[in-house]
Amino acid sequence: MSFQLLDPEKGIFLSEAGSTNTILKGKEFPPGSWILADFQSSGRGRKGKTWSILGDEPFIFSGKFSSDSNLSSPGLFSLYVGVAVAKAILSVYPSTSKKDLRIKWPNDIYLNGKKVCGILIETEKEGEVWDWILGIGANLYGTEIPDYLIDAGFITSDQNEKGRRARFLETLLPLLNDAVLAISDGEKRIEFINEKLLWKGETIAWTESGEQKTATLLGVNEEGKLLARTSVGNMVEFIDSPEDFRSLE
């Protein structure tokens, strides 16, 4: 299969947007287009959740890829994008090398136990062509977190690393294209994901048919599915995260 990648020359900069993903779904924006907005009033997360804008330098981005067929393991798209974002963070913000950077399956980035980036992938199909709309919302720099968002954080609060949004964009664009090429070529990047996987080895819990279930988180397999083992040795395979998916540790 082949992908049409993001074109550095097809960027659109907006001072304000409702949802950059929704805008980019418009047919007037060809594959390869991307948007970076200063403010987003209707940011969306997975399963209808909202994404709150935090700090002095939010990164509100959407990009449109296209492919000539669907992926055999579509769950890898979000994970490989997560790898690209993680590498961009580590490259642009040196202070993060001293922090605990984790990828939360399937689509979030955490630093020191705080969510600093969310990823939303949406697909649309027309004929034999698939459009992949990739949304990334990241809190690049800030110092104050609202009391009602105790699980959120910033990539950096270091004054010396302030003002790097443009550098982050320039670093991230080729990494995103590289991630998509890796998917297209069948290149495996699961090892990096499992090295950085949030809650790996911990006891996780979720609700199933009204009953709490628990298991030990093992890792992600080659198809991007999450694996866990129950206390009696049964394997559990997740293709999506339950609503109340959490660690008990």
Domains and CATH numbers, the chain: 3-195 (3.30.930.10), 199-247 (2.30.30.140)
Query: Which has the minimum average pLDDT: 3-17, 44-58, 76-90, 233-247?
Result: 44-58
* Residue 174: per-residue pLDDT: 98
Between 42 and 173, residue with greater pLDDT = 173
Q: How far is CA 39 from CA 19, 53, 123, 131, 159, in A?
A: 9, 8, 23, 24, 22
Between 93 and 43, residue with greater pLDDT = 93
Residue 83 is which amino acid?
V
Burial of residue 217 (CB within 10 Å: 0-12, 13-18, 19+) is: buried
Is the bond into 106 cis (omega within 30 degrees of 0)? Answer: yes
Q: Which residues have CB under 8 Å from 218's CB, separation 6+?
A: 200, 227, 228, 229
Band of pLDDT at residue 24, cut at 50, 70 and 90: very high
* Residue 50: per-residue pLDDT: 61
Question: Using one digit for the tens of pLDDT, what is the confidence trace for 209-247?
Answer: 999 999 999 999 999 999 999 999 999 999 988 889 999
d(CA 81, CA 165): 18
Backbone angles phi, psi at 30, to 5 degrees: -75, 160
* Residue 44: per-residue pLDDT: 54
Question: Using one digit for the tens of pLDDT, what is the confidence trace for 38-49?
Answer: 988 865 555 455
Given a cut of 90, whether residue 161 has pLDDT beyond it is: yes
d(CA 203, CA 207): 14
- Closest listed residue to residue 227, CA positions, set 52, 73, 105: 105
Q: Residue range 75-91: average pLDDT?
A: 95
